[in-house]
Structure 1
Amino acid sequence: MSSLIPPTVIITMAGMGQRFRDAGYTVPKYRIEAHGRTLFAWSMLSLRSFIDAGSPFIFVALRQDGAEGFIRDQAVELGIRDVAVVELDALTDGQATSALAARDAVAHPDRPMLVYNIDTHVDPAHLPAGAVRGDGWVPCFPGPGAAWSFARADGTGRIEELREKERISDDATVGLYWFSSFTLYARSYAEFFADPANMAKGEKYIAPLYNHLIRAGRPVYLHRIPFEAVVPLGTPAEVTRFVAGPDPALSVD
């Protein structure tokens, strides 16, 4: 890992989860249980390497969900020792803004940071903390369809372009976005979204934000993960499939 400094991990979980409510779920998506763990835990276990490295975690949630107690209890079980919870009073205009809302809780903005969601489980063996590099680092897998962010890279793995919901390659992001510092992220956010045309489908996504770094000549790298190591959990159908399937034989303990 860059300078052996564990990154600040920002977890964005400030959405309404409307699709799950519409599908009849009566608890927030992240509290749904499958194979003896909550979906929250399955997502966080993806980051086992960063947890073991001692990364501080900042969780950004909606105040109305009353999630802080749940988050702190789960963090104890998962071995996350440094926890902060930022509660928002309203929905934001996208994940990029939700991540920025963690600003006051970031103790060392000059250190690396990463943003992750609660919509995906990745076998943690494929997300080693020591693999990060450049000013941006984006794990990807061969995701089907077009409901992802996509990265196009050259033969060395250096990313040339990212697009939201546009299949410019077979490399779909898993929802983890690493930056060499929170300061770089915040500055890039301000500069990139100063032009409203850079919003995608009315939202501020993180993946296209890397294009600002790329145009400035900063190195952003792709990290490929095999298809079978990724379990999407973002829709009711995906969760139903996960719940009904076998207990994943993944190295999470």
Structure 2
Amino acid sequence: MIVIPMAGRSQRFFDAGYTLPKFMLPLGGESVFAHAVGSFAAYFASQVFMFIVAPDEDIIDFVAEEADRIGIENWRILPVDRPTAGQAETVEIGLDKGNIPDDAPITIFNIDTFRPGFEFPGAWFAGLDGWLEVFEGEGANWSYVRPAEGDLPLAAETAEKRRISNLCCTGLYHFARAGDFRAALAAERLAPQAAELYVAPLYNHLIGRGGKTGYSLIDPADVIFCGTPQEYQALLTPA
């Protein structure tokens, strides 16, 4: 299952004068939504897509129309009727409202990130409890993975807005079992590592109990970000 949490307020865009949520904005003849979700075009016929949205009829109608238009065969829209404490809680509400069983694998992805031609990593990753997608980058405003010692791409630690390595997350997070996500979030609530409940730090709870979390390293050129008005404008007027 591909889970797209998109119940945020797009506040930076509204503050910048935009009148639509960022995922509804036009970009190159498509919507930002179509670019982001189109990352998974190879799986439109094989994966269930869950869109977790604000309880706004215009948004619900837009997502339904776009999901049909771009060719997703099996999709669900789940409105969240209250503000949440962060992306992880938004996902939890969607999983619970959707009655997603604990043994179901879930892949979480941001609605403001594009991964053209995405494919799931190789078979080795299927044996892990979870994995994150990363690229080598700069700055201190990402989620991060600190690699474990050894030659295998395993994580020793994850962090949010705390630069523990140069491996920055693209916003794609996979859990082999939804139940692991739920248990990790419950543990995170007891001692949250950040002001919001982010997804990346949840992997520390899997790692702490002996679970294997990996990271899939991609080229920075293979990911496009559209989460701020500046990034959106840059995509509208490329150099």
Residue 176 of structure 1 pairs with residue 172 of structure 2? yes
What is the aligned partner in structure 1 of residue 42 from structure 2? 49
CA distance in 1, matches of 2:106, 2:175: 5
| Separation of aligned partners in 1, 2:76 and 2:208 | 33
1:15 partnered with 2:8: yes
Residue 48 of structure 1 deviates from its aligned partner by 2.4
1:100 aligns with 2:92: yes
> Which residue does 1:4 correspond to in 2?
none
Q: Distance in 2 between matches of 1:73 and 1:144?
A: 37
Separation in structure 2 between the aligned mates of residue 113 and residue 58 of structure 1, nearest angstrom:
10
Quick check: 1:49–1:128 contact (8 Å CA) kept in 2?
no
Whole-Å separation in 2 of the counterparts to 1:130 and 1:51: 19
The number of residues matched between the two structures is 234
Which of residues 17, 23, 36 in structure 1 aligns to 2:29?
36
Secondary structure, aligned partner of 1:40? helix
Q: Which residue of 2 aligns with 1:3?
A: none
TM-score using structure 1 length: 0.87
Q: How far apart, CA to CA, are the structure 2 residues paired with 1:106 and 1:74? A: 24
Counterpart-to-counterpart distance in 2, 1:58 and 1:106: 12
Distance in 2 between the 1:142 and 1:119 partners? 19
**Farther-moved stretch of structure 1 (130-139 vs 31-40):** 130-139
- 1:190 matched to 2:183? The reply is no
| Match of residue 5 from structure 1 | none
CA contact (8 A) 1:153 1:159 kept: yes
**What amino acid maps onto 2:54 in structure 1?**
L
Q: 1:65 to 1:142 in 2, by over 3 A?
A: farther
- Contiguous gaps of at least 5 residues in structure 1: 1-7, 247-253
Distance of 2:212 and 2:153 partners within structure 1 = 10
TM-score normalised by length of structure 2:
0.92
8 Å Cα contact 2:100-2:178 kept in structure 1: no
2:63 aligned partner: 71
Q: Distance in 2 between matches of 1:30 and 1:115?
A: 16
User: 1:49-96 CA deviation, whole Å, 9 max, x = no partner?
Assistant: 3324x1111111111363111111111122211111111122200000
CA distance in structure 1 between the aligned counterparts of 2:42 and 2:132, rounded to whole angstroms: 16
- The one-character-per-residue Cα deviations of 1:190-233 (angstroms, maximum 9, x if unpaired) are 1232x1x3240x10001001000001110000001101111111
User: Could you tell me the percent identity over the aligned residues?
Assistant: 33
Name stretches of at least 5 consecutive residues in structure 2 with no aligned partner: none
Q: For 1:123 and 1:144, how far apart are their aligned partners in 2?
A: 22
Q: Once the 2 structures are TM-superposed, how far is the Cα of residue 27 of structure 1 from its aligned partner?
A: 1.1
Structure 2 counterpart SS, 1:221? strand
| Cα displacement string for residues 13-63 of structure 1 (whole angstroms, at most 9, x for unaligned residues) | 0111110001111111101111111111111112223324x1111111111
- Cα 1:216/1:148, change in 2 over 3 Å: same
Deviation at 1:234? 0.6
Equivalent residue runs for 1:81-160 within 5 Å: 81-102=73-94, 103-125=96-118, 127-128=119-120, 130=122, 132-133=125-126, 134-154=128-148, 155-160=151-156
Which amino acid counterpart does residue 64 of structure 1 have in structure 2?
D
Q: Give the CA deviation at 1:108.
A: 4.0
Describe the superposition over 1:219-253 as per-residue Cα deviations: whole angstroms up to 9, x where unpaired.
0000011011111111000011111127xxxxxxx
- Opposite residue 151 of structure 1, the aligned amino acid is V
Q: 1:158, 1:207 → 2: CA distance?
A: 14
Q: Report the aligned-residue RMSD.
A: 1.6
